[in-house]
Amino acid sequence: MAALGWLTPRRRSATARSVLAGEAAAEAARKTSAADDDSVLLTGTSEEAPEEPAFPVAGDDRAAAFFDLDNTVMQGAAIFHFGRGLYKRKFFERRELTRFAWQQAWFRLAGVEDPEHMQDARDSALSIVKGHRVSELMSIGEEIYDEYMADRIWPGTRALAQAHLDAGQKVWLVTAAPVETATIIARRLGLTGALGTVAESVDGVYTGRLVGEPLHGPAKAEAVRALAAAEGLDLDRCAAYSDSHNDIPMLSLVGHPYAINPDTKLRKYARARDWRLRDYRTGRKAAKVGIPAAAGVGALAGGTAAAVALHRRRR
Active-site annotation holder among 36, 68, 120, 123: 68
- 68 as an active site residue: the answer is yes
- 38 as an active site residue: the answer is no
**Residue type for position 39:** S
Give the C-alpha separation, 280 to 285, whole Å: 9
Q: How many CB atoms lie within 10 A of CB 30?
A: 16
Active-site annotation holder among 70, 114, 243, 247: 70
- Residue 144 phi/psi, 5° resolution? -65, -35
Catalytic residues: 68, 70
